[in-house]
Amino acid sequence: MKYIRQLFIILFISFAGELLKSFLPFPVPASIYGLVIMFLCLETGLLKLEAVKETAKYLVEIMPLLFIPAGAGLLNAWGVLRPVLLQIAVIVVVSTIVVMVVSGRVTQFVICRKKGKAK
């Protein structure tokens, strides 16, 4: 029952993100709105981590499995992708490097900030 309640909380927050997407005129995916809502709820203490921890951990563990249908869809679109494969490969490599660098810098900033608060 605990897992069903946790899944319901996660789905409710995702639905709230879908609602925000339909009301706000910004080109932001609903999943991003949901992540921001979840982050704000956890940071403000409105939602305790224990209220979603086990189900969220399970969803993260099975996440690679959720990419299988998307990969199969790419195989169906091979004819369309083939002419632009080099451009897509460059974009994937560059964006991956940018995400890694930005994530590392943000992590370093947060760690330094926490160390500063601890002193």
Distance from C-alpha of 48 to C-alpha of 71, rounded to nearest angstrom: 35
Instruction: Return the residue matching tokens 């199969």.
Output: 72
Instruction: Convert the pLDDT of each residue in 63-77 to its tens digit.
Output: 999 889 988 888 888
Q: Which of 20, 103, 14 is nearest to 52 (CA)?
A: 14
Average pLDDT estimate for 38-55: 95
Task: Choose between 115 and 91: higher pLDDT.
Answer: 91
Residues 32 and 13: beta-carbon distance below 8 Å: no
> CA 76 → CA 63, 70, 72, 73, 80, distances in Å?
22, 10, 7, 5, 9
9-13, 16-20, 71-75, range with the lowest pLDDT: 71-75
Q: How far apart are CA 18 and CA 29, in angstroms?
A: 8
| Weakest-pLDDT range from 12-21, 46-55, 78-87 | 78-87
Q: 119: pLDDT confidence band, cut at 50, 70 and 90?
A: low
- Reported as a single tens digit per residue, the pLDDT across 23-33 is 998 999 999 99
